[in-house]
C-alpha cells in the first residue's frame, strides 16, 4: 500500500471536513487516499547544533534508507572504552527526527552525563514508509553497531572507543515500543555478532496499546488487535534479550496505564533479569525531551546514567 503525504505547511491543505475518510490523533486520511500529518514537518539541524561542549557529533549513513547521528564524549580514550547507547526517538511513528534540535540536545546531554557513545537512529516514518519500516530500520542500526565488534566496522569512533559488550537500547514513546520489539528479537535470535551484547533496555513513556486502530492503519501487514509489537506477548517479555530494564512512567501521560500494564506483565512473565521503574510525578508524555531544564528531566538523565553504569 502506498500513501501520498500532505504536510501542514503545504498549500495543498485545502480540504473540508467532508473530504476526510478517517481521523486519527496524528493525521487525517482523505477520501482520495492522501494523508495529512497534522503537525508541521520537523526542522532538522546540523550535528553540531545544540550539542554540549563536551560532545563531538557527526552523521553517518547506515544503509540507503537508514542514517544516524553519533555522539562521542570529548574525553573518550582508547584505553577506557565506553558503552554504546542506541537511542530511538518518539513521534507516533509518523513525526519527529533524530536530527531535530530537541533530540540532538537530549542525546548529547545523555552522552556527556553518562559518558557513553550515543547513536541516535533516523528511521522511516509513515506515510512515506509505512510500518514495519521503523522496526526494520532500527534493527538495521542495532546490527550496524554490533558489526564493529572486531574493530573493523565502517565507523572509526565506534571501532576505536566503543565497548560492544555493553550496548544499551533506549527510546521514548514510539522509540520505547521499537526498543521492546528489538530486544524481543534479540532474545529470540540473538545479535549475530560474537562479542556484541545488549546489557540493558531503557523505555521512557513507551507507546503500547491493544487494538490501536491508528497503528494498525499505519501497518498494513499488522497481525490484528493483539499484534505483539503493540500488545507485548508474554513469551516475548520472558525472553527479552538483556539482563536489565529501566522503564519510566509519567503520571499525567495518557499512555501511563499501558506502560504500567507493561511493567506488571513483565514482572509476571518469568523474565530472569532486573526491572527498575521510575515514575515522573505530575509530568506529561515525553516532557524530558522538550522541557530539558525541568528538574525532573534532569533527574531522568541522571537515572539513565546511573542505570547504564549499574550504580543502583
Least confident piece of the model among 9-13, 139-143, 171-175, 208-212: 9-13
Asked whether the predicted pLDDT for residue 312 surpasses 70, the reply is no
- Determine the pLDDT at residue 5: 66
Catalytic residues: 173, 253, 285
Residue recorded with cell 526517538: 89
- String of DSSP letters for 248-301: EEETT-TTHHHHHHHHHHHHHTT--SEEEEEEETT--TTHHHHSTTSHHHHHHH
- Determine the pLDDT at residue 51: 66
The alpha-carbon radius of gyration of the chain (Å, integer) is 19
Residue recorded with cell 546511573: 306
Asked whether the predicted pLDDT for residue 1 surpasses 60, the reply is no
Give, in order, the Cα–Cα distances in Å from 74 to each of 8, 123, 164: 39, 26, 19
pLDDT band at 291 (very low <50, low <70, confident <90, very high): very high
pLDDT band at 265 (very low <50, low <70, confident <90, very high): very high
pLDDT band at 10 (very low <50, low <70, confident <90, very high): low
Mean pLDDT over 78-94 rounds to 96
Asked whether the predicted pLDDT for residue 2 surpasses 60, the reply is no
Question: Cell digits for 175?
Answer: 522509540
- Determine the pLDDT at residue 33: 87
- The residue extents of the domains of the chain are 1-41, 42-308
Mean pLDDT over 263-287 rounds to 97
Question: Cell digits for 173?
Answer: 514513546
- Determine the pLDDT at residue 13: 75
Least confident piece of the model among 26-40, 186-200, 258-272: 26-40
Q: What is the pLDDT of residues 90-119, one digit of tens each?
A: 999 999 999 999 999 999 999 999 999 999
Q: What is the pLDDT of residues 31-45, one digit of tens each?
A: 988 899 988 888 899
Mean pLDDT over 3-24 rounds to 77
Q: At what angle do helices 133-146 and 174-189 cross, to 10 degrees?
A: 60
Percentage above 90 pLDDT, the chain:
87
Contact assessment for residue 88 and residue 167, using Cβ atoms and an 8 Å cutoff: no
Least confident piece of the model among 7-16, 249-258, 261-270, 299-308: 7-16
The SS3 assignment for 198 reads strand
- Determine the pLDDT at residue 40: 81
Contact assessment for residue 138 and residue 174, using Cβ atoms and an 8 Å cutoff: no
Contact assessment for residue 35 and residue 4, using Cβ atoms and an 8 Å cutoff: yes
Mean pLDDT over 290-305 rounds to 96
Backbone angles phi, psi at 69, to 5 degrees: -110, 130
Average pLDDT along the chain = 94
42-308 fold: Rossmann fold (3.40.50)
Percentage above 70 pLDDT, the chain:
95
The SS3 assignment for 27 reads strand
- Determine the pLDDT at residue 260: 98
The rounded distance, in Å, linking the Cα atoms of 61 and 154 is 10
Amino acid at each position: 500500500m502506498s500513501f501520498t503525504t500532505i504536510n501542514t505547511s503545504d498549500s495543498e491543505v485545502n480540504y473540508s471536513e467532508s473530504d476526510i475518510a478517517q481521523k486519527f490523533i496524528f493525521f487525517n486520511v482523505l477520501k482520495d487516499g492522501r494523508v495529512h500529518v497534522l503537525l508541521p514537518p520537523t526542522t532538522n539541524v546540523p550535528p553540531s547544533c545544540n550539542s554540549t561542549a563536551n560532545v563531538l557529533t557527526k552523521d553517518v549513513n547506515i544503509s540507503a534508507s537508514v542514517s544516524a547521528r553519533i555522539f562521542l564524549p570529548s574525553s573518550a580514550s582508547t584505553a577506557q572504552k565506553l558503552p554504546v547507547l542506541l537511542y530511538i526517538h518518539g513521534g507516533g511513528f509518523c513525526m519527529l527526527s533524530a536530527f531535530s534540535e530537541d533530540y540532538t540536545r537530549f542525546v548529547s546531554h545523555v552522552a556527556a552525563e553518562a559518558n557513553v557513545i550515543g547513536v541516535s537512529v533516523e528511521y522511516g516514518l509513515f506515510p512515506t514508509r509505512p510500518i514495519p519500516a521503523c522496526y526494520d530500520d532500527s534493527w538495521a542500526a542495532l546490527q550496524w553497531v554490533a558489526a564493529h565488534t572486531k574493530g573493523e566496522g565502517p565507523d572509526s569512533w565506534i571501532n576505536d572507543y566503543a565497548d560492544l559488550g555493553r550496548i544499551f537500547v533506549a527510546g521514548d514513546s514510539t522509540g520505547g515500543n521499537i526498543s521492546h520489539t528489538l530486544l524481543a528479537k534479540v532474545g529470540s535470535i540473538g545479535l549475530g555478532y560474537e562479542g556484541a551484547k545488549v546489557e540493558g533496555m531503557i523505555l521512557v513513556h513507551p507507546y503500547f496499546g491493544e487494538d490501536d486502530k491508528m497503528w494498525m492503519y499505519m501497518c498494513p501487514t499488522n497481525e490484528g488487535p493483539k499484534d505483539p509489537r503493540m500488545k507485548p506477548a508474554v513469551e516475548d517479555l520472558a525472553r527479552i534479550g538483556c539482563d536489565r530494564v529501566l522503564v519510566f512512567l509519567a503520571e499525567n501521560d495518557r499512555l501511563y496505564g499501558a506502560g504500567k500494564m507493561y511493567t506488571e506483565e513483565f514482572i509476571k512473565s518469568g523474565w530472569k533479569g532486573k526491572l527498575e521503574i521510575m515514575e515522573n510525578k505530575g509530568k506529561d508524555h515525553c516532557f524530558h525531551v522538550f522541557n530539558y531544564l525541568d528538574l525532573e528531566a534532569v533527574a531522568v538523565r541522571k537515572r539513565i546514567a546511573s542505570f547504564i553504569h549499574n550504580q543502583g
